[in-house]
Amino acid sequence: MEHEEDDRPERAEPLTDAEREIIQDTWGRVYENCEDVGVSVLIRFFVNFPSAKQYFSQFQDMDDPEEMERSSQLRHHARRVMNAINTVVENLHDPEKVSAVLGLVGKAHALKHKVEPMYFKILSGVMLEVLSEDFPEYFPVEVQEVWNKLMGALYWHVTGAYTEVGWVQVSSSAV
């Protein structure tokens, strides 16, 4: 079968009802600390993958995590990321809505921000790492696996939007 991308599956693996509940339950705990969590995720992301800073005018040359923490652009993006994920989680029962939200995110990052899509995969890995460390009681391995599945669906939708707007190569060779 032909694919635009070597390893793009036909569709995102759907979550079962039980998995949706697990996601919604754990996310509820995380989202209570929305801004703090979002900021720590992004700081870890930019410290561990400094090339990801290139897209952000305000802190592309910053190395000090404490200084990054004071960046309004970073904080703003943290809020946007967390709010977009919140919308996805709140609408897991509505695949059209999930697809629309993530399609817009993908298109904006491809066309406006020109972000290499592989960073989405990296960011979701960092996010799961931080969530499991900060909320160990809510993220045992079984829960992490369900979150992995959701992150896989997120990446699938986002990269689908990249392909749709003609991004030349959605591949794993970027980093």
Q: Is 77 in the site for ligand HEM (CB under 6 A)?
A: yes
The C-alpha angle 53, 59, 61, rounded to 5 degrees, equals 80
DSSP-based three-state secondary structure for 83: helix
Q: Which is nearer to ligand HEM, 22 or 126 (CB)?
A: 126
- Choices 5-13, 63-71, 78-86, 132-140 (CB under 6 A): range interacting with ligand HEM: 78-86
Q: Is 2 in the site for ligand HEM (CB under 6 A)?
A: no
Full DSSP string of 16-48: PHHHHHHHHHHHHHHHTTHHHHHHHHHHHHHHH
Where does the chain have alpha helices with state H?
A: 17-31, 34-48, 65-69, 72-90, 95-107, 118-134, 141-164
In the set 39, 123, 153, 161, which binds ligand HEM (CB under 6 A)? 123
Q: Which is nearer to ligand HEM, 27 or 120 (CB)?
A: 120
Q: Is 108 in the site for ligand HEM (CB under 6 A)?
A: yes
Identity of the residue numbered 171: S
Nearest to 107 by CA among 95, 118, 115: 115
DSSP-based three-state secondary structure for 3: coil
- Per-residue contact flags (x/-) with ligand HEM for residues 17 to 56, judged by CB under 6 A: -----------------------------------x--xx
Q: How many residues bind ligand HEM (CB under 6 A)?
A: 17
Q: Which is nearer to ligand HEM, 104 or 140 (CB)?
A: 104
Residues 6+ apart with CB under 8 A from 59: 46, 53, 67, 68, 71, 73, 74
In the set 68, 105, 126, 150, which binds ligand HEM (CB under 6 A)? 105
Residues lying near ligand HEM in the complex (CB under 6 A)? 52, 55-56, 73, 77, 80-81, 84, 105, 108-109, 112-113, 115, 119-120, 123
